[in-house]
Amino acid sequence: MASTVFSPFTLRGMTVKNRIVMSPMLMYRGQDDGMLNEYVYAHYAARALGGAGMIGTEVLAVEPRGRISAKDLGIWSDEQAAGLRRLTDFAHDCDARIFAQLAHAGRKSHLTGTAIAPSAIAYDETLGAPAEATIEDIEALIENYRAAAIRAVEAGFDAVEIHAANGYLLHEFLAPVSNTRTDDYGGSLENRMRLPLRVVEAVREAIPTGMPLLYRIVASDFGTDGVTIDEASRLSKEIRDRGVDLIDVQTGNILPGYEGPVYPGYQAPYGTRIKAETGLAIGATGSIASLDLAEFLLASGQADLVMMGRALLRDPFWPIRAAKEAGVEVDFPIPTYARATGPFERGF
């Protein structure tokens, strides 16, 4: 029987060679000026060589105060975007697609004294209270997302993802526990969704019609006065209507700790519901590390792509190994890898 994991998938004008996506993972190994360096380049290049269909970058900060750490990559300048071109070119040479994850850490920024958030409520004692974002901050932020999206296109990315989960800025706006504003950006769900939706509109306008837009959503905060699945479902429909193509489903982390259960594929059920309600493509994320589970999620129609984090951190060549396990012949980015035969054949 054919493997779904190793079948291609098309979103708008982009086709990926297989369904294995490297989930965004911050390496804390860039430079203080937000530029790509050899370490980060080699890290992603290894995953492109290893056969992933698509690579998600780690958080790319849309403005300097949106960094989690001083070692985050940025996309707030043209110079940073030009530096990323090397990475997109290499991914393409390996027949991998690559998306830029546009991000803002909000109150979870570890930089001292610059964090903004919907309200001046600290994430924890260590990070301290952020400044409440003014209306000017909000307007500037939307323009920074727009400019970052334009730079991502110029840098050669195949798609863009808006990071709106994991307790970072856009998630903070959506969750009542971190958003106690009384203006148009707080209170009702409609108001709490306003900034995320304006960001979606700005980014969609900035990128070509044929380019897919991904959205990393939070599907539930497990009753911590955060986001509920019903709210996530409503938001999903709103972003679909504004041109989002795929929802990458996350849960929790609006407060320190994680309240939900963790098991192989633990976030997939939320994606299944959102897929049924919106008809959107879904990226399943969370403890997916086996070919069997990936095949099950894809072939049963619960997800369209599997977004793998730690499995690809442990082993950049996981996709090539999985292809062998599935009995599928894949093209190696370096064809000589095909000569990595077993111990009962002579290597030469």
Ligand X SMILES: Cc1cc2nc3c(=O)[nH]c(=O)nc-3n(C[C@H](O)[C@H](O)[C@H](O)COP(=O)(O)O)c2cc1C
Q: Establish if 73 lies at the interface with ligand X (CB under 6 A).
A: no
State how beta strands 9-11 and 246-250 pair.
Answer: unpaired
Q: Look at residues 122, 120, 155 and name the one whose alpha carbon lies nearest to residue 137.
A: 120
Q: Establish if 186 lies at the interface with ligand X (CB under 6 A).
A: no
Using CB under 6 A as the binding rule, the residues of this chain from 295 to 314 that contact ligand X are 308-311
State how beta strands 20-22 and 54-61 pair.
Answer: parallel
| Mask for 198-227, x = binds ligand X (CB under 6 A) | ------------------x-----------
Q: Look at residues 25, 83, 220 and name the one whose alpha carbon lies nearest to residue 75.
A: 83
Residue nearest to ligand X (CB): 309
Stretch binding ligand X (CB under 6 A), from 17-25, 83-91, 170-178, 203-211: 17-25
Among 16, 49, 59, 244, contact with ligand X (rule: CB under 6 A)? 59
Q: Establish if 175 lies at the interface with ligand X (CB under 6 A).
A: no
Q: Establish if 30 lies at the interface with ligand X (CB under 6 A).
A: no
- Compute the distance between CA of residue 207 and CA of residue 139 in angstroms, rounded to an integer: 19
| Structure token digits, residue 202 | 């700005």
- Compute the distance between CA of residue 330 and CA of residue 324 in angstroms, rounded to an integer: 9
Phi and psi at residue 100, to the nearest 5°: -95, 125
Choice between 26 and 320, CB closer to ligand X:
26
Among 26, 174, 244, 298, contact with ligand X (rule: CB under 6 A)? 26
Spell out the residues 6+ positions from residue 313 whose beta carbon is closer than 8 angstroms to its own: 25
Among 287, 293, 328, 337, contact with ligand X (rule: CB under 6 A)? 287
For ligand X, the binding residues (CB under 6 A) are 23-26, 58-59, 101, 163, 166, 216, 250, 285-288, 308-311
